[in-house]
Structure 1
């Protein structure tokens, strides 16, 4: 079966493709409870080019405490994530926790001025803010509806961030309503384009999946392809609280497609 491939010029697949171990972490997290443990190890093995690559990945993760693989009475081992492993799974694989979190109606605004000679510090700070789903109002003005005071305190103690930055709480951003702030800080037009393309791709694969029987290797290939496609579509999604999401937001539809495809792959395994 030739599955529908997701491609968008904004993304480079080699860049977004996870390392083998990291990809296994997300697959384990998403399919926990869907697969019987006795068959899980065998099914996941089809996601890798060789059995050795799969076993090496498992050993590497186990050594880091990310995956538990207890030995049993000779049956295939159970695979599951430790709490440390779960903490490494990107938020967009469990987005309901972010969407459904109540907003306290405060904006947290971080302003910083890092000297040009400290460009590396500035770039790493921006990268960290992006990982926290901050939106950028201007180059050095970043905003989020999430209370990030604990992270800011950690930054101050570990990286002396208060020497170059200030964190403000604000009820409003003058001249902007909440919807305007959201549109200004995050590129929801581009995000909608990516997610619409993913939704179309997922719908075609769901249709093809419903047609006939598929070999385990084909199902594993589809699960990996969709995992990567969904990651591309959601990578820049700030996962804002429900009341701040634009009316034309497609992230929830993308997540529903992704989960539906996973369920159907598992049912056919």
Structure 2
């Protein structure tokens, strides 16, 4: 795990639903994961330079608050990892189309990289579809990148002659997700049955880190649309059980506050 990416795993698992944390607490957690204090402070500084976190001072202490867009991303990850429920498909597709000027290419590329997190796939250039995406969360994402003038939304019933599975095959490429789920299952298989608090803490963060990453490749299709043999939902259900067990075992560490 890299320091900067691990920071956002900590925000996701240990800080949320708050969006702000003292730098000393981040250092305390990260040192337990094997990172040095200079490496942590450098990662936080780089994140601040990119606008991902916003520095704040409270007395003599330095705090870092997630930017609204990054907090939005953390919220979506938490929703999918920790508030799982079987999505009920209403038979309608959420369709997003855009025509973004080349001058906004950077925003466009970042925007579409996050659409999968909401459950979108792309069957054709500039067209994204999802059976269950949250339209309010989609509007928020569009707003964060300032793309409102270039994006349209639709909710429509598919009337093509081909089965729904054909659209799923064209829009959603799940090979990378399947490979990452296999790795996630392998990590869970290797966990000790009764870890000490320190080991439980490390394994918890590493497990959440891997699970968080896989969501950017898996759109979370409802069961009736998921390809045969794709076990992403089952793996995430297992992850939820293992995460709960690790959090309970790591409670003495989670209850610690960094030395002031």
Smaller-chain TM-score range? 0.5 to 0.7
The corresponding residue for 2:97 is: 111
After superposition, the Cα gap between the structure-2 partners of 1:193 and 1:217, relative to the gap in structure 1 and judged at 3 Å, is same
The corresponding residue for 1:161 is: 148
The corresponding residue for 1:7 is: none
The corresponding residue for 1:142 is: 128
Tell me the CA shift for residue 215 of structure 1.
3.8
Tell which has more relative contact order, 1 or 2 (C-alpha 8 A, sep 6+): 1
Instruction: Count how many residue pairs are aligned between Structure 1 and Structure 2.
Output: 217
1:92 aligns with 2:80: yes
8 Å contact from structure 1 (residues 219, 265) kept in 2: yes
The corresponding residue for 2:183 is: 197
SS of 2:5's equivalent in the other structure is coil
RMSD: 4.1
**Structure 1 residue corresponding to 2:170, chosen from 184, 189, 192:** 184
Tell me the CA shift for residue 264 of structure 1.
3.6
Larger mean Cα displacement after TM superposition, 104-113 or 148-157: 148-157
Q: Taking structure 1 as the reference length, what is the TM-score of the superposition?
A: 0.61
The corresponding residue for 1:243 is: 224
Tell me the CA shift for residue 85 of structure 1.
11
The corresponding residue for 1:254 is: 235
Cα distance in 1 for partners of 2:33, 2:84 equals 30
Q: Taking structure 2 as the reference length, what is the TM-score of the superposition?
A: 0.63
Tell me the CA shift for residue 143 of structure 1.
0.8
8 Å contact from structure 1 (residues 47, 224) kept in 2: no
Tell me the CA shift for residue 44 of structure 1.
6.0
Give the gaps of 5 or more residues in structure 2.
17-27, 45-54, 251-260
Tell me the CA shift for residue 195 of structure 1.
1.0
The corresponding residue for 1:219 is: 200
After superposition, the Cα gap between the structure-2 partners of 1:261 and 1:228, relative to the gap in structure 1 and judged at 3 Å, is same
The corresponding residue for 2:2 is: 14
1:174-231 Cα offsets, whole Å, 9 max, x none, are 25322222222111233222212321331122xxx12xx6443222222222222223
8 Å contact from structure 2 (residues 117, 216) kept in 1: no
SS of 2:116's equivalent in the other structure is helix
Task: Select the structure of larger CA radius of gyration.
Answer: 1
Bigger share in strand = 2
Cα distance in 1 for partners of 2:189, 2:109 equals 38
